[in-house]
Amino acid sequence: MSNTVIPEGYKSLLSVKETEHAIVMIKDFFQLALSTELNLTRVTAPMFVERGTGLNDDLNGVERAVAFPVKDMNDKTMEIVHSLAKWKRVKITDMELPPDFGIYTDMNAIRADEELDNIHSLYVDQWDWEKVISAEDRTIDYLKDVVRKIFRCLKRTEFYIYDRYPAITPILPDDITFIHAEDLLAKYPGKTVKEREDLAAKEYGAVFIIGIGAKMKDGTQHDGRAPDYDDWITNTGNGHHGLNGDLLVWNPVLQRAFELSSMGIRVSPETLKAQLAERGATEREKLYFHKRLLAGELALSIGGGIGQSRLCMYFLRKAHIGETQVSTWPADMVDLCSKKGINLL
């Protein structure tokens, strides 16, 4: 229960019924804004993929995927997706989309190894998106341009909700601040990763931390990242590495940094090979996804995920992600939330 934070004096600004209506409004409005801003078309997506193809997201490489045998396929094992990070790249390639066009989809996942708290659930719902880029677009400036477009969608959604629920006043800054994980380490020496994120988010309101998964000068990583989708190894100058990052905002209810999106320019055949070698995972080169990528058969791309329930939680000023999605929680957490006026759906 120590993982559950109850903000002092917390009271939901909306009733359960108003919350349910607002969730629909946010999802409908934001996905339209995102698809328009990034030239994305909606596609359907799988809930599970075949084990052994390399298509599932390995997250930090230690989380177990929920799996099941298929009776009608000689008990072949399927895995519930962690995300669609790699599946999307195959999809945009097979769709033969031109540069600067892409896809988005509703991704629903189960992460059985998640540590449950105010913002982490067994059930993950996000907009997974991916778009084709040219070789010339594999730059830090292109990444920042896409992040700014996503931030504009957040700003528009924030005003849309405020216009309908005036008690939810806008708090996002005019612009998002970019900072490399290496510079964040130098800016806040002696602090933990989460402390650095909290300080940066509180100072700037919205921040994009570049270089997630890259090894920094002190030998640490800001956070883990699988070696086979985001490019975190490319040298971008000034001793910095990484063409990816996390988008964080300051959460005034929980008084902490709040991750809304993880995204990045995807690995090229060359950077995939280098990242697999660095992580001691060269055996993955034999998998379906990795063989296609190393053969140069997959489109160069940029992509990411944007948490749907987290987005709703942030814009509706909720204290617990269970107020914006239906999941399963430990009995003592449910009891505590009930006593403190947190209405888990």
Which of 4-8, 78-82, 192-196 is predicted most confidently? 192-196
- Give the pLDDT confidence score for residue 59 in this predicted structure: 65
Q: Is 111 assigned a catalytic role?
A: yes
Say what the pLDDT of residue 151 is: 97
pLDDT tens-place string over residues 86-106: 899 999 999 999 999 999 999
Task: Tell me which of 12, 31, 35, 57 is the catalytic residue.
Answer: 57
Environment class of 194 (CB within 10 Å of its CB; exposed 0-12, middle 13-18, buried 19+): exposed
141 tagged catalytic: no
Q: Which residue has the higher pLDDT, 197 or 60?
A: 197
Question: Residues 248-263: what's their mean pLDDT?
Answer: 95
Residues 36-64: tens digit of each pLDDT: 999 999 999 998 888 878 777 766 666 77
Residue 28 among the catalytic residues: no
pLDDT for residue 61: 60
Which one of 58, 198, 230, 246 is the catalytic residue? 246
CATH of domain 16-339: 3.30.930.10
Q: Is 262 a catalytic residue?
A: yes
Which pLDDT does position 56 carry in this prediction? 79
Q: What is the model's pLDDT at position 60?
A: 60
Q: Looking at residues 279-292, what average pLDDT do you find?
A: 91
Catalytic residue among 12, 35, 83, 111: 111
* Residue 308 among the catalytic residues: no
Q: Determine which one of 262, 275, 309, 327 is catalytic.
A: 262
Q: Lowest mean pLDDT: which of 24-28, 70-74, 144-148, 151-155? A: 70-74
Of the listed 259, 278, 279, 285, which one is catalytic?
259
Q: Residue 182 is inside which H or E element, if any?
A: helix 181-187
**CA geometry: angle 11, 14, 19, nearest 5 deg:** 125
Tell whether the model's pLDDT for residue 194 goes beyond 50: yes
What percentage of the chain reaches a pLDDT higher than 70? 98
DSSP 134-154: -GGG-SHHHHHHHHHHHHHHH
Is 57 among the residues known to form the active site? yes
Catalytic residue among 83, 126, 275, 301: 126
Q: Report whether pLDDT(124) > 60.
A: yes
* CA nearest to 65, candidates 75, 53, 57, 76: 57
Q: Are strands 40-42 and 102-110 parallel, antiparallel or unpaired?
A: parallel
Nearest 5°: phi and psi at 34?
Answer: -65, -45
